[in-house]
Amino acid sequence: MSSAPPPGLDPEQLRRFLDRERPGLVSGPLEARLIEGGRSNLTYVVTDGTGPGSGRWVVRRPPLGHVLATAHDMRREHRVISALHATDVPVPHTLLLCEDESVLGSPFYVMEFVDGTPFRSARELAPLGPERTRAAVLGLVDTLVDLHAVDPAAVGLGDFGRPEGFLDRQLRRWGKQLDASRGRELPGIEELHAALGRALPASPPPTVIHGDYRLDNVLIGEDDRIKAVLDWEMSTLGDPLTDLGLLVMYSTPLDLPDSPISTTATAPGHPSAAELVERYAARSGRDTSALAWYTAFAWFKLAVILEGIHYRYTLGQTVGAGFDRIGELVPVFIEHGLTTLQEG
């Protein structure tokens, strides 16, 4: 690890805080590194040495200079992970939550380090081979069924969200998000939004939902099993089929060479989207006949997110490679959404 501390985490400040709150937890000077690849909240691996008895932890905090506190609520994220730890859903063990901004400049929480791999692309999955890839992706469905089987009230999450009118609120929210980040004409986007509004399905009983459930938000162990589900910042109580619709969207092959948006769907052995839906339906007992709507909504939501990134790129507000090609993806996602809804 580099001795220079990463932005947003002062190891000495963190050490003083941990020594005060958890005496004996840390046995040496702390070093930290930022885990690359996160979309929003910042994630750091922290260690107190390199020897056999050294400790490793993970720290999560909001992005630097954030202004939307509700979108980066550390208490909420800490709460859902802590509540799910006693269930069949694999999550890291949380150690403590700190809401005192004088320590690191923002609220944060500390949890155990879990060893595993987040697979972000078909290229990364390829070395596993077809059989292991298939097992890992089917495990993703099984873990989603386990999450949706949790009784929110039984784990203290009965008030974790407002499930009444959930889909209607989601559709309106992402429509407003689109209006706030548009600098060009996008053929078909209003048509898709309106069609989704006309065909709003009746939601099944609400469950805890992840909100961004996909392969690169879980850690896969060497036995190809899921060791931990990560990135709970969008979790709430709502319609469980929104999680499945998003997973189906991410499991649809996109013929986009060198795309900055990764998909694992083309990896040898990757189950088809239809097989994932069939497995979920069989294991959960839920009716998935309206899933085309949920998948079309996922395409719409991602189109809005990508257009927002493209809009910030045109204003010179993005840093890094690949942003110049995000804009050309948006029409592809709109077209997939319309096609999915029409063929549903």
Q: Which domains does the chain have, with CATH numbers?
A: 11-112 (3.30.200.20), 115-162+215-237+261-288 (3.90.1200.10), 164-202+290-344 (no CATH)
Where do runs of H (alpha helix) occur along 130-222? 130-149, 166-180, 189-198
pLDDT in tens, 223-269: 999 999 999 989 999 999 999 999 999 999 886 766 667 678 999 99
* pTM for this predicted structure: 0.92
The pair of structure tokens assigned to 85 is 């730890």
The average confidence (pLDDT) of the chain is 91
pLDDT in tens, 97-142: 999 999 999 999 999 999 999 998 889 999 999 999 999 999 999 9
Q: Do 298 and 249 touch, CB atoms closer than 8 A?
A: yes
Q: Do 41 and 62 touch, CB atoms closer than 8 A?
A: yes
The pair of structure tokens assigned to 246 is 């998003």
- Rounded alpha-carbon distances, angstroms, from residue 171 to 70, 95, 113, 201: 19, 36, 36, 12
Look at residue 37 in the predicted model and tell me its pLDDT: 61
